[in-house]
Amino acid sequence: MSRPRRRSLLRGAMAGIGGGLIASWVMNQFMTGPGKQLQESMQKETPEEARKKPEDEDATMKAADAIVEITTGGRHLSHEGREIGGPIVHYSYGALMGGLYGSLVEYWKTPKAGFGTAFGTALFGAGDLVAVPALNLSPSSDGQPATSYINPFLSHLVYGATTELFRRALRPIL
């Protein structure tokens, strides 16, 4: 007979942080692999046309620069600095959101709906559709074709499910 697990905000957060870090990496792999291929197949332009377009800085690179600007009183990162800072922002945010998720599910089961995909969907909506455009880290979602959100949306579903998978694996050992 196994003992029932005691709820713990700290242990839940730690399991969620671990899950969120792993999920951030898996999310990146999905975004640059299958997600990108699906996105290209759904858009009107050919994959060759999409590859020829100059790559804009992503929201995490812009966020890294904004953080440096705010904390240093106006200094900015070089492009190389933004390339380093972008992943730091991405993994930090992924760990933070994973910790929040792990803490929430210790006391409230709703975020686990759909094996974490409900949480991933909430992050997509709050982040990609609201916060990121509001902070001028990406263009407004107004006027953007719905197909432009396929990869980001699916990537957040992958993040949510992966966070839940690893949270479940880590939580019993904490």
Token duo for residue 88: 């730091």
Burial of 142 (0-12, 13-18, 19+ CB in 10 A): exposed
Please count the residues of the chain.
Answer: 174
**Cβ count near 125 (within 10 Å):** 13
Is 103 within 8 Å of 12 (Cβ atoms)?
Answer: yes
With residue 164 as reference, give the H or E element that holds it.
helix 150-170
**Cβ count near 54 (within 10 Å):** 4
From CA 86, how far away is CA 105, in angstroms rounded?
Answer: 28
Is 105 within 8 Å of 12 (Cβ atoms)?
Answer: yes
Q: Cα dihedral angle (81, 64, 57, 43), rounded to 10 degrees?
A: 140
DSSP state of 19: H
Residues 88-134: pLDDT tens digits? 999 999 999 999 999 999 999 999 999 999 999 999 999 999 999 99
pTM of the complete model: 0.90
Is the model's pLDDT at 5 over the cut of 90? no
What is the mean predicted confidence (pLDDT) over 144-169?
A: 95
Query: pLDDT class for 86, splitting at 50, 70, 90?
Result: very high
What distance, in Å, lies between the first and last C-alpha atoms of the chain?
19
From CA 18, how far away is CA 2, in angstroms rounded?
Answer: 24
What crossing angle do the helices spanning 34-42 and 150-170 adopt, rounded to 10°? 160
Residues 24-42: pLDDT tens digits? 999 999 999 999 999 888 8
